[in-house]
Amino acid sequence: MSSNGLLTNKVYGIYEERLEKEVSDGPIPKHIAIIMDGNRRYAREQGLDTKDGHRAGKEKIKDVLDWCMKMGVKTLTVYAFSTENFNREQEEVDFLMDLIGNSLRELADDPRVLENRVRLRAIGERDIIPEDMLEAIEYAERKTADFDKFNFNMAIAYGGRQEIVNAVKDVSARVKSGELDIADIDEDTISECMYTFDVSDPELVLRTSGEYRLSNFLLWQLAYSELYFTDVYWPSFRYIDFLRAIRSYQQRARRFGT
């Protein structure tokens, strides 16, 4: 490495340490949700195969989970595979299903996950997920079911609108059975039917790759979330980028509509 490269790394190291201290002294969001975007564009710009971009994105999940535990973020939810993603070429869909399934199994066996008591869970439409993927999900959830220090949710075959539709169906069934009166339906009733019913709503949602949209992600839960967008592709997302997102959150006045 050249002397200029060494100097740059040293400067970045100093900046990262100062930024980490600054962020650590402020309020840390309990729940961060991430729309992981840019794997394919990252691969294209690096001259790599698309699958290599997805593989790099898979490894980045482990890094970000580590950063969340380090900074005291109790829940991390990532958008791994949407219902719309099933419209991609079948070869890519099959590859992603295998990759995500392997990721869940690796996380379930990861000493860091076990030592830090991270509960792993998948949220989404399980009836359209391949059997091999379901087995991986069940393995990860079963192995970490009793953990209660951190939560890691992976949205797979997920769509925010469909989640709301499912919640409405659940509430309607309770009304029809006489368990619930229509007059008693409120926001809490709906929230209790969401996949994330037992964790707090995300205070911060961030999206990588420079896109400025939510893409049908956690539409009910993000009502009062702070939004953060970065141009960095997901595989290139750094600890500094993570800290900057939290700092942006800390600099905002959260009024919740008041």
Q: How far apart are CA 55 and CA 214, in angstroms?
A: 23
Cα angle, residue 78 at apex, residues 104 and 40 outer, rounded to 5°: 90
Q: How far apart are CA 235 and CA 215, in angstroms?
A: 19
At position 238, the amino acid (one-letter code) is R
Q: How far apart are CA 220 and CA 23, in angstroms?
A: 28
- 């169906």: which residue's tokens? 169
* Choice among 52, 66, 85, 241 that is catalytic: 85
Could you confirm whether 98 is annotated as catalytic?
Answer: no
Q: Which of 206, 195, 213, 201 is nearest to 157 (CA)?
A: 195
Could you confirm whether 201 is annotated as catalytic?
Answer: no
Enumerate helices (H) and strands (E) in the chain, giving the number of each. Answer: 9, 6
125, 84 contact by CB (below 8 A): no
Q: How far apart are CA 125 and CA 193, in angstroms?
A: 14
Adjacent-strand bridge partners of 229: 207
**Residue 149 structure tokens:** 């220090």
CB atoms within 10 A of CB 53: 22
Pairing of strands 150-158, 118-123: parallel
* Choice among 37, 39, 153, 201 that is catalytic: 37
Q: How far apart are CA 246 and CA 228, in angstroms?
A: 9
Residues annotated as part of the active site: 37, 85
